[in-house]
Structure 1
Amino acid sequence: MKKILFLTTALVLVAGVAAAGPMAFGPRAGYVDAGDGGFFVGGHVKGLNITPEIALVPNVEIAFFDGLSLYSFAADANYSFVEADLNGFIPYAGGEIGMHMYKFDDMPAGFDDSYTKMGISILGGLEKSLDESKSLMFELKIGLSDYAPDMKFTVGLTFF
């Protein structure tokens, strides 16, 4: 049941953005701390702008730790401070709600090797347009709930 809910949420997030119009997408990777430091890879989709400053950004990530994998499906709500140009970088801030599935390696027989929980984070970042077809982003997320990663530093590219 958890897997069906997990996959349905991911599908709804992506389908909602697909219906919104022109989309941009890209890879992301970085460092994640969820009690034990690790790295993650993933992707994001941009295209659902509520206003010129507010955008919803669905993303999917897989993090790798010692003895643990973390699969995350999330939606960020970002507010871009378009008037504050910092040498070509535009700052943004926002929040994230996501479903996080923790999968443990080598669990003894009789124990559940995974669990899925909702998590909430706050975030801030900088985005710079590299040219008319791509942009670079740096982002820091801080987990506010018990099941969101404590901290995440992300570097990503977006292709238009």
Structure 2
Amino acid sequence: MKTTKHFRKPAKTFIAAAVTLLSTIVTAAAPALADSYKSFPGSMCHGTDSSSEAKLSRGYLYIYNGDSSQYAYVVCPIVRGAPGDDDGTTSGPSSLVYVNKGNSQKMLCGLIGDWPAGGGFSYQEGTTIAQGTTYISIPKIAKRNIYAIFCSIPPKSSITGYYSFFK
């Protein structure tokens, strides 16, 4: 009896370790079922030129056009993340841009994908004239290598965040 009792404890420890290890291996090998998406704060956007940059102010999560009469133009980078985010697809991302508009002037954002090695670019855009907190939806573009969002921010308006959806 004593031998069996001592045998059970190492066996239980071994089984627990094996189950933990196997569940980790199975989880790591399982395909990801969820879509791959990336979210970014609006503060990652930058003016496209010195004139636009002078009109902009940033907080931790937003970029704001403080000018009272002129648009500011920004580019917002999209970081793809791990290679393979868009494996198995023939299209690139779609995007949502969250904005806080201080007027009813049109705000336009375009999603661009580029293939620097001569593969050309793909472009889609979305607009809004709604005032207050809203978003701009931009349809999927063709699969490319480098992605960015370009926006024209009306006076007294801001970009509070943007999302890119791969797959």
Normalising by structure 1, report the TM-score: 0.30
Larger Rg: 2
Tell me the TM-score normalized by structure 2: 0.29
Q: Which structure would you say has the larger RCO, counting Cα contacts within 8 Å and 6 or more residues apart?
A: 2
Structure with greater strand percent: 1
